[in-house]
Amino acid sequence: MGVRKLDFRKIRYISILLLGIVLAIFGGFFIQERWGGILVGLGAGLFGMSGAQLITERVMQRNPALQKKISIEQSDERNVQINNYAKAKAFEFATFLALPFFLILVLADVPLSIVLLSIAVYVADYAVYLWFLNKKMKDI
């Protein structure tokens, strides 16, 4: 009693926030180097993401009604179904979009390594789809 339960999510976000600050400051010393810029970008990204999450959690804690409403909206079966439908359509669209994209890369005389890398990403994406399809076929 009286001892506040450790909120591991909060601790994780604070750790990421601090890591972001450290990376951004460290990167700032080497901003002339390419990796210095990457570190600043990464640090700012981590800082922004975890900071926003902490603020959101604080607002939620003060407003349980809002927290419940958002939780219901997120887990609502119709919303989940709509979201999954939209994701499936986006995947289908990306699948068709990839083919003319590869053609444009070839016609634009882009180095072969870039074309092959793009195709590898496309194949990996499709492999993930087939893996999950197979997994679900076995599971249900």
Partner 1 sequence: MNNRLADFRKERGVTQEELADALEVSRQTISSIENGRYNPSIVLAFKIARFFQTAIEQIFIYDELEGEKDGC
Find the binder of partner 1 among 32, 73, 111, 137 (CB under 8 A): 73
Give the integer Cα–Cα distance in Å for 27 and 86.
39
33 or 76: whose CB is closer to partner 1?
76
72 lines the binding site for partner 1 (CB under 8 A): yes
76: left (phi over 0), alpha (psi -120 to 50) or beta: beta
Find the binder of partner 1 among 1, 8, 77, 100 (CB under 8 A): 77
Residue 97's alpha-carbon distances to 20, 54, 94, 104, 124, in angstroms, are: 35, 37, 5, 11, 16
In the complex, what is the shortest distance from the CB of residue 40 to partner 1, in angstroms, rounded to a whole number?
A: 41
79 lines the binding site for partner 1 (CB under 8 A): yes
Find the binder of partner 1 among 33, 76, 92, 125 (CB under 8 A): 76
Contact mark string toward partner 1, 17..56, x via CB under 8 A? ----------------------------------------
The residue among 12, 41, 11, 48 whose CA lies nearest residue 26 is: 41
Taking only Cα atoms into account, the Rg of the chain, rounded to an integer number of angstroms, comes to 22
